[in-house]
Copies of this chain bind each other. A is one copy, B any other.
Amino acid sequence: VNIELINTGAELLLGRTLNSHQQWLCRQLADRGHLVSRQVCVDDSSASIQRAVRDALEHADLIITTGGLGPTADDRTRDLVAGILSRKLVEDPTIVRQLEDFFARRGLPITSRVRRQALVPEGAIVLPNPNGTAPGLAIEVAINPFHLEGRPAWLIMLPGPPREMRPMFTASVLPLLAQKFPPPQPFVCRTVKSIGIGESMVEEMIHAPLRHLIDAGLELAYCARTGEVEVRVSALGEQAAALVSEAETVIRALLGKNVFGADDEELESAVIGLLTERQQTLSLAESCTGGLIAHTLTNVPGASAVFVAGFVTYSNEAKQRLLGVDEETLRQHGAVSEPVAREMAEGARGANGTDFALAVTGIAGPDGGTNDKPVGTVFIALAGPEETLVLKKLNPYDRETFKLVTTRQALDMLRRKLAG
Contacts and interface: CB of A to CB of B under 8 A. Distances in A.
Given A224-B161, A309-B311, A318-B352, A13 B35 contact: yes
A41 B42 CA distance: 12
Interface string A400-415: 1101000000000000
Contact of A295 (B108, B189, B292, B366): B292
Contacts of A161: 224-225
A22 interface: yes
Interface in A16-50: 16-20, 22-31, 35-44, 48
Contact of A298 (B10, B207, B221, B290): B290
B18 A18 contact: yes
A86 interface: no
A291 B310 contact: yes
A312 B290 contact: no
Interface size class on chain A is: 35 or more
B30 A15 contact: yes
A203 B18 contact: no
A108 B199 CA distance: 13
A299 interface: yes
A287 to B, nearest CB: 9
25 contacts: A10-B232, A14-B35, A15-B25, A15-B27, A15-B29, A16-B23, A16-B230, A16-B232, A38-B40, A38-B43, A38-B48, A113-B200, A161-B225, A167-B398, A286-B291, A291-B291, A291-B310, A292-B295, A292-B298, A294-B295, A299-B403, A307-B312, A309-B313, A312-B312, A318-B352
Q: Across chains A and B, which 10 residue pairs bring their CB atoms closest together, nearest first? A: A15-B27, A290-B298, A291-B294, A15-B26, A310-B312, A291-B291, A291-B295, A16-B223, A309-B318, A39-B41
